[in-house]
C-alpha cells in the first residue's frame, strides 16, 4: 500500500450549488481522502466554498489550489489564511500562484508583472501575517507597513504552497514554499520538475521532509470507457488551447511539441473537435488516470509510485457531470 496521500480537487466547472461541492467533500471524508482542494477561476470564490465545507466536515483537510496572487492583496491573503485555519480548526493549507495573463489581466484588470517575484513576496508576506507578527516589508514590488492581525494568530500556522509549471517557478516553490502544486505533467516530466523543486529546497536551506509535493491528476473512472476518455481529452484541449501559453509550453518541454501546436491552432480556429482529437492515447495516458474503473485505479497507482510525490490530487474533467464525479470519487477512494 502506498504512503502517498489521496486528495480531491473540486471541479473547476460551475456546479448546481454550494451544496454540491459540500456533498463531494462529505463523500470524500467518509471514504478516507486526506484533503479537499478548491480552485478559483470564474465560478464561485474558493474561500466561501471552503468555509461551507469546513462547517460540514470534521476531519478532512481543506485547501486552496490555487488563489492567484494578484486579485487579493498579500495582507488580505494572510487574513484569509488565518481565518480559514480558525474556521476549520487547523485543517487549512493555502496554495498560491500567479495564474496567467488571461485570468489576471483579462478577468481582474491587473497587470501580470514579474510573476515569480510577485509570488515570492506574497508568500513571505502571508507567512508574516499568519504568524501574528507586525508587517514591515520592503520588497521590490510591495512596500508595506503598520499591519497586524487584530485577533490571536492560529496556534498551528497553515502551510503555504506554491503553484508552478516552469522550471524556475517550481524552484521558487521549493525555496520559499512549504510545498508545490504540480499539474499537466507526464511521469518523466514530473521527475524533472521534482529535481527543480528539490534544488530550490536546497537553495532555501529547507527541510524537504517538511515540504509536500501534490500532483493534480486528471481522473475519470466510468464503465463507459469512451465517454471517460472523451471527457479527459476535452479537458486537456481546453487548457492547452484556450488558457494561454503555460500549458502549451509545459507539453512542449515534455516532448509533445507537435501535439501542443496542433491543439493551439485548432482551438484558435474554433475547430474544437479537431483539437480534442489531436490528443492521442499515448498522451492521454501519460497525463491522467482515465477509462474504466480498473484502468483508472491502476494508473493512479503508477503515479503514486513516483519517488518524491507526497499526494495525488484526484481532479475531474471540466465537463464531467456530478454523478460522474461522485462515481470517480468512489472508485478511486484510498484503500
Q: Is residue 258 part of a domain?
A: no
Contacts of 172 (CB under 8 A, 6+ apart): 116, 119, 120, 162, 164, 200
Q: Is residue 12 part of a domain?
A: yes
Residues 76 and 160: their CA atoms lie apart, in Å, by 14
Number of domains forming the structure of the chain: 1
Residues 64 and 36: their CA atoms lie apart, in Å, by 9
pLDDT tens-digit profile, the chain (335 residues): 468 999 999 998 889 999 999 999 999 999 999 999 999 988 899 999 999 999 999 999 999 999 999 999 999 999 999 999 999 999 999 999 998 888 888 888 999 999 999 999 999 999 999 999 999 999 999 999 999 999 999 999 999 999 999 999 999 999 999 999 999 999 999 999 999 999 999 999 999 999 999 999 999 999 999 999 999 999 999 999 998 888 999 999 999 999 999 999 999 999 999 999 999 999 999 999 999 999 999 999 999 999 999 999 999 999 999 999 999 999 999 98
Q: Is residue 130 part of a domain?
A: yes
Q: Is residue 264 part of a domain?
A: no
Structural domain range at position 17: 5-224+289-331
Domain containing 309 — which CATH number? 3.20.20.30
Contacts of 109 (CB under 8 A, 6+ apart): none
Is pTM beyond 0.85? Reply is yes
Amino acid at each position: 500500500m502506498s504512503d502517498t496521500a489521496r486528495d480531491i480537487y473540486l471541479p473547476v466547472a460551475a456546479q448546481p450549488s454550494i451544496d454540491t461541492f459540500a456533498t463531494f467533500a462529505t463523500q470524500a471524508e467518509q471514504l478516507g481522502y486526506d484533503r479537499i482542494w478548491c480552485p478559483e477561476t470564474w465560478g464561485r470564490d474558493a474561500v466561501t466554498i471552503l468555509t461551507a465545507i469546513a462547517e460540514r466536515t470534521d476531519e478532512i483537510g481543506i485547501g486552496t489550489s490555487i488563489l492567484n496572487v494578484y486579485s487579493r492583496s498579500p495582507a488580505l491573503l494572510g487574513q484569509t489564511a488565518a481565518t480559514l485555519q480558525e474556521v476549520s480548526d487547523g485543517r487549512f493549507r493555502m496554495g498560491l500562484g500567479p495564474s496567467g495573463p488571461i485570468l489576471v489581466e483579462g478577468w481582474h484588470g491587473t497587470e501580470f508583472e514579474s510573476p515569480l517575484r510577485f509570488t515570492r513576496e506574497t508568500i513571505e508576506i502571508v507567512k508574516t501575517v499568519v504568524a501574528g507578527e507586525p508587517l514591515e516589508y520592503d520588497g521590490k514590488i510591495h512596500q508595506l507597513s503598520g499591519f497586524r492581525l487584530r485577533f490571536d494568530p492560529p496556534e498551528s500556522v497553515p502551510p503555504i504552497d506554491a503553484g508552478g509549471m516552469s522550471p524556475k517557478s517550481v524552484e521558487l516553490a521549493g525555496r520559499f514554499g512549504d510545498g508545490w502544486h504540480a499539474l499537466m505533467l507526464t511521469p518523466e516530466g514530473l521527475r524533472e520538475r521534482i529535481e527543480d523543486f528539490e534544488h530550490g529546497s536546497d537553495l532555501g536551506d529547507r527541510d524537504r521532509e517538511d515540504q509536500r509535493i501534490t500532483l493534480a491528476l486528471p481522473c475519470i473512472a466510468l464503465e463507459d470507457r469512451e465517454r471517460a476518455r472523451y471527457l479527459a481529452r476535452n479537458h486537456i484541449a481546453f487548457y492547452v488551447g484556450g488558457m494561454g501559453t503555460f500549458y502549451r509550453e509545459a507539453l512542449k518541454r515534455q516532448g509533445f511539441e507537435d501535439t501542443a501546436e496542433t491543439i493551439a491552432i485548432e482551438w484558435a480556429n474554433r475547430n474544437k473537435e479537431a483539437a480534442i482529437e489531436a490528443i492521442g492515447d499515448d498522451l492521454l495516458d501519460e497525463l491522467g488516470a482515465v477509462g474504466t474503473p480498473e484502468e483508472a485505479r491502476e494508473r493512479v497507482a503508477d503515479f503514486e509510485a513516483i519517488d518524491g510525490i507526497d499526494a495525488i490530487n484526484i481532479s475531474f474533467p471540466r465537463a464531467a457531470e456530478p454523478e460522474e464525479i461522485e462515481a470517480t470519487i468512489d472508485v478511486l477512494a484510498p484503500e
